Homo-oligomer: A and B are copies of this chain.
Amino acid sequence: MERLTKNRERVKEILCNSDHPLTAYDISKECPEMSLTTIYRALDYLVRNGHVKSFTFNEYTYFLPSERHEDFFLCTSCGRFFQLEHCFASSYEQNLREKGMVPKDHLILITGFCSECNEKLHLQTQM
């Protein structure tokens, strides 16, 4: 029978304490004493048991607590995630249910420049 070990609890804790999705590599930087293999297996366990969920974007798989919703703005310049305040997905989902589909989850990712990076880039082009 599978167990929620110290390592696995620690991985979950790191994800819960972070306000944005993390990659396995991000987690390994927080606890270098744990091998990457163990982190991947911990994440696999946590996903299988419903503690966390994941999505893949630009080569990387990101993990986040499953109760968190997955609507983000990603700044392609500094790589930071910003959570979107309102979730409009329910309107989509209503639409789909009317057609017989059964939506389970969603990923909304808007990319662009955050205000800080946008300012920096503006200053550069003015020089």
Contact = CB atoms under 8 A, between A and B. Distances in A.
Contacts of A105: 110-112
Interface residues of A, number: 38
B99 A106 contact: no
A107 B109 contact: yes
A120 to B, nearest CB: 12
Nearest to A106: B110
A76 interface: yes
One complex includes copies of this chain to the number of 2
A124 interface: no
Contacts of A75: 101
Interface of A: 55-59, 71, 73, 75-76, 82, 84-86, 88-89, 91-93, 95-96, 99-115, 118
Given A102-B118, A104-B112, 9 more contacts: A56-B58, A76-B104, A92-B110, A99-B115, A100-B114, A101-B113, A102-B113, A104-B111, A105-B112
